[in-house]
Structure 1
């Protein structure tokens, strides 16, 4: 068989038409127990693109993990042509403890492309970049908002990337947010290799939100249909509310510490001067109105009941295209 007919990955050979679950060996615990991350591979008998679907780079971002879990459980990852590789949880250490970082205290998404002899997180990044990523043509990477900050469902891409702009439109998230490729991130390292990535953000850490998961799963189906990979048994819906491209944005930060309650919902279009929320104290003697500094969409809301001066409480668009 030719090289294209056999996928050699993580020491295994997977032929066209085969399914496989291979082990991404991360490390051993201090008890000498191995930690293996399952990599789920589905190959059609018909050649085609290879799509990598990942989540859980941050261990506390369970919403992204749930999206990939549903993609596998529903059989969406069994392609009509080509190959789909799913890694539902990359940072399995963090996922076990619902911790964002690795046991070495490092953020996996800030150590790419990694090093074979570096820190634990760096070694995992290096293995991912060298043993899995070179096989793929497109990556869908699912993330969740950090801490108590709830993100609108959004696709993040860099500006002036024609292929990614087209794919983002196909995906159909409510927002496409233009953001720079952060240094040493998974997205940045893949960009340098010429491998396109759609980075999905939605919801908040430690939570599973049905609307966000549905958006992620439906967007994935649209991408796979666009590539001719989705089997006919799955229906593809048109996005209910998409096409808004956020060119620039700003964080609205708290001018006071206190108890916080947002008045507007995520995805809301607000006008300059609209009241977005209230900061109060426990004694009923203080009530500060948080107002919109400009017209724009609110696409991130801090849902923490207690905030401190300087905390980011709303993310608002300042320039959009639709």
Structure 2
């Protein structure tokens, strides 16, 4: 990893010197009431040289659990680096956050418009600012997400396959699952990889919800990664990972064969065997009851918590191939 923390750092027109703490912001547009909306960027620089880390959350405005993870990291001073620089953007999609909505007011998903455009849509302009004004200064990215559409994700790190450094860092983070997944076109992760910026993407919990187990996993994972790179100050204890991560090479969705009222009967993180009953779909009138079975043996890494589902809806995300298989 390269070290760039040896001179003044200029981000969004602001100069941050070694040993300085500064909160700056960027404004892309105002609300329709002409009220200015700023995206805070919190920067902590050590006096000692080291890598520059970027911690982000809230790329989707309704993924509050990730925002809470960064809030705890900042409030406890974990972001005050022993060496190097830590930059935190707790709420990237401030517009969605205000409305508890995944997308921007223009309906666009910020995580599908990177690297963005200076004169494009509102979401695209935010992506462009991050790509051109912040990412060039970064050595490493930790990006925090949650599940969407009432789907609860088990705590997991997502990385691309074939990079041993990613494998090592994912183990250090210590989430229960590490999932190999390809980069999605125009996503933040894809842009980071194209720019040569290593990125760990953490997923856990569901949208519009704060879960203490998920936040604890995310905060502790960040602590372990920062300690791994020598950036954690000595007054913080490094928690040991509770489980050895399971690496998942392939997975699939189990979908609803019928519409109706849905209830899962298996807990997230559970290992199931093919044919196990894992949930049921009923009608409101007590005349229909369909038992959902596991399509194969594997780990349940996502559960749909919506009480109403339609035929074809994703119910469970289950591993199909483990790295050790």
Q: TM-score, normalised by structure 2?
A: 0.97
d(CA) in 2 for partners of 1:242, 1:321: 13
C-alpha deviation, 1:107, in angstroms: 0.3
Match of 1:253 in 2: 255
Match of 2:90 in 1: 88
Match of 1:244 in 2: 246
d(CA) in 2 for partners of 1:181, 1:124: 20
C-alpha deviation, 1:148, in angstroms: 0.7
Match of 2:318 in 1: 316
Match of 1:185 in 2: 187
d(CA) in 1 for partners of 2:6, 2:12: 16
Root mean square deviation, CA, Å: 1.1
What SS is found at the alignment partner of 2:29? strand
Match of 1:40 in 2: 42
What 5-or-longer segments of structure 1 have no aligned partner?
Answer: none
Q: Is contact 2:5–2:85 with CA below 8 Å preserved after alignment?
A: no
What SS is found at the alignment partner of 1:22? strand
Q: Map 1:168-183 onto structure 2 (within 5 A).
A: 168-183=170-185
What 5-or-longer segments of structure 2 have no aligned partner?
Answer: none
Instruction: Please list the CA deviations of residues 17-37 of structure 1 after superposition, one character each: whole Å capped at 9, or x if unmatched.
Output: 110000122212223222111
C-alpha deviation, 1:67, in angstroms: 0.3
C-alpha deviation, 1:147, in angstroms: 1.3
250-259 vs 231-240, greater mean Cα deviation: 231-240
Instruction: Please list the CA deviations of residues 208-256 of structure 1 after superposition, one character each: whole Å capped at 9, or x if unmatched.
Output: 0000000000000000000000011111111111320010011000000
Q: Map 1:122-271 onto structure 2 (within 5 A).
A: 122-271=124-273
What SS is found at the alignment partner of 2:9? strand
Q: Is contact 2:173–2:221 with CA below 8 Å preserved after alignment?
A: yes
d(CA) in 1 for partners of 2:14, 2:165: 31
d(CA) in 1 for partners of 2:309, 2:245: 33
The one of 118, 121, 127 equivalent to 1:119 is: 121
d(CA) in 2 for partners of 1:182, 1:47: 33
Match of 1:295 in 2: 297
Structure 2 vs 1, CA of residues 207 and 14 (structure 1 numbering), >3 Å: closer, same or farther?
same
d(CA) in 2 for partners of 1:171, 1:97: 31
Q: Is contact 2:277–2:294 with CA below 8 Å preserved after alignment?
A: yes
C-alpha deviation, 1:4, in angstroms: 3.2
Q: Is contact 2:26–2:38 with CA below 8 Å preserved after alignment?
A: yes
d(CA) in 2 for partners of 1:97, 1:146: 15
d(CA) in 1 for partners of 2:71, 2:13: 24
C-alpha deviation, 1:3, in angstroms: 8.2
What SS is found at the alignment partner of 1:182? coil
Match of 1:16 in 2: 18
What SS is found at the alignment partner of 2:38? strand
d(CA) in 1 for partners of 2:245, 2:107: 38
